[in-house]
Amino acid sequence: MSSIEDLRKEYVVATLDKGSVDADPIRQFEKWFDNARQAGVDEPNACLLATVSADGRPSARVVLLKGFDASGFSFYTNYQSRKGKELGADSFAALTFWWKPLERQVRIEGSVETVSTEESDRYFSKRPRGSQIGAWASHQSEVLASRDVLEKRIAETEQRFAGREVERPPHWGGYLVVPDSIEFWQGRQSRLHDRIRYRLVDGHGWIIERLSP
């Protein structure tokens, strides 16, 4: 059996040049996101969300991006979950996308704000009913005595909303990551990767920089 130290892969799919990227990082992200979908990447909207607690302890988990535009990148969750509490304590976060077939990574950093209640209501109404029930039944991130306890809460919630629409819980909704830094990473041979970063500078808008690999 080979050692983990011997696991290596050369990245040779593409290159990335500062002169070839879009002047707008959101349009550049859209191009890469569309490329990932066309390449058949499974759940291209899956990304790693990193947050920090009030005492400086970091944590990370995979979430699903549900929208992006000039205002930022949105995802939805339980406000009382660990990530929700951490975002309440420190309103900065980072998102990382990894699209393996394209040997590409995108890193987004910025401040975080909650989306409007209207937008959260709109998205919640589109979720499958089972997911809507789960948003009420699961006390996300809290210690659970057993799976049976969760199943009981699900059954009680199904009974509560029997024959009618499931309304959005007040503790559940959307967050928007408002970026001030977006990095596009293209894998290259010998770990000499191409890294192009967009950085938001007051009075200058987005500036584009090449970073050392």
Instruction: Give residue 6's pLDDT.
Output: 85
Burial of 212 (0-12, 13-18, 19+ CB in 10 A): exposed
Q: What is the pTM of this model?
A: 0.93
**Residue 3 belongs to some domain of the structure:** no
Side-chain-side CA neighbours of residue 24 (13 Å): 8
| In a domain? residue 2 | no
Q: Say how many domains are in the chain.
A: 1
List the catalytic residue out of 61, 129, 191, 210: 191
The whole-angstrom distance between residue 89's C-alpha and the CA centroid of its chain comes to 19
Query: What torsion do the CA atoms of 42, 46, 47, 52 make, to the nearest 10 degrees?
Result: -150
In a domain, 5, yes or no: no
CATH number of the domain to which 43 belongs: 2.30.110.10
Q: Is residue 117 part of a domain?
A: yes
Contact residues for 87 (Cβ-Cβ < 8 A; gap 6+): 51, 93, 112, 175
Instruction: Tell me the residue range of the domain where 116 lies.
Output: 10-211
As to burial, measured by CB atoms within 10 angstroms (0-12 exposed, 13-18 middle, 19+ buried), residue 172 is buried
Token pair 């770990």 in the structure block, residue = 191
Residue 53 inside a domain? The answer is yes
Tell me, yes or no, whether 121 lies in a domain: yes
pLDDT at position 90 is 85
Residues (pLDDT < 70) of the chain are 1-2
Q: Is 147 a catalytic residue?
A: no
Please report the pLDDT score of residue 1 as a whole number: 64
pLDDT for 200 equals: 97
The answer to whether position 192 is within a domain reads: yes
Domain assignment of residue 4, yes or no: no
Please say whether the beta carbons of 110 and 208 come within 8 A: no
Instruction: Give me the pLDDT at residue 68, please.
Output: 98
